[in-house]
Amino acid sequence: MTRLDMFEAVRPFAPSRKFSAQVVRLLDQVADAFGLPADGAPMKPSPAAIKLLHEFEGLSKVRPDGMIEAYPDPGPTGLPWTIGWGSTGPGVTKGTVWTREQADARFEADVAKFAAGVAEALKGAPTTQSQFDALVSFAYNVGLANLKGSTLLKKHRAGDHAGAAREFGKWVFAKGKRLNGLVRRRAAEAALYAS
């Protein structure tokens, strides 16, 4: 959903089907709060996406001094090393320590990167804010390459949203092992996607 979609949805309730400048400002504030993009702008994750990511990524290994330590991935191999809000990649190895500010800044950058990747992967397919948020959480966890090659994305782009929602549940394995944390995460993502 875009701002235009939102404005058109509430227009029938406006006197003479027109909005005053004050109402436009208020509707823009609502759109901002829910992460609705300006028309033509790429979608951005809403607070629901951030909440879901924070819930499942967690801020792990916070020391008593407030510093944050890297930890091995909970999957069977222990790789990749992870820090903060689920951040991985170059510079994140055993012994890496960050401040809370570093973890938060990296999280914001990572979310922006995954959101841009999801927006590009959608190729203009009609997408609600909830669907976008769920796909960002999914991609943050499994990677953009896995999202781009997934049946989940193919079904979404084809408009088979019920089928796409069912696909989340197939992504609960790490190296062939079913992980309860992934089961819970995929159920939450599927529920958000379908909402």
Q: Annotated catalytic sites, by residue?
A: 57
* Interatomic CA distance for residues 57 and 62, integer angstroms: 13
Distance of CA 9 to the CA centre of its chain: 25
Indicate the SS3 state at residue 71: strand
Residues pairing with 152 in the sheet = none
Tell me which residue of 72, 71, 69, 66 sits closest to 100, measured CA to CA.
Answer: 66
Distance, first Cα to last Cα, the chain:
13
Contact 64, 55 (CB under 8 A): no
Positions of E strands within 29-150: 68-69, 71-72, 81-82, 97-98
Torsion angle in degrees (nearest 10) through CA of 169, 170, 176, 177: 10
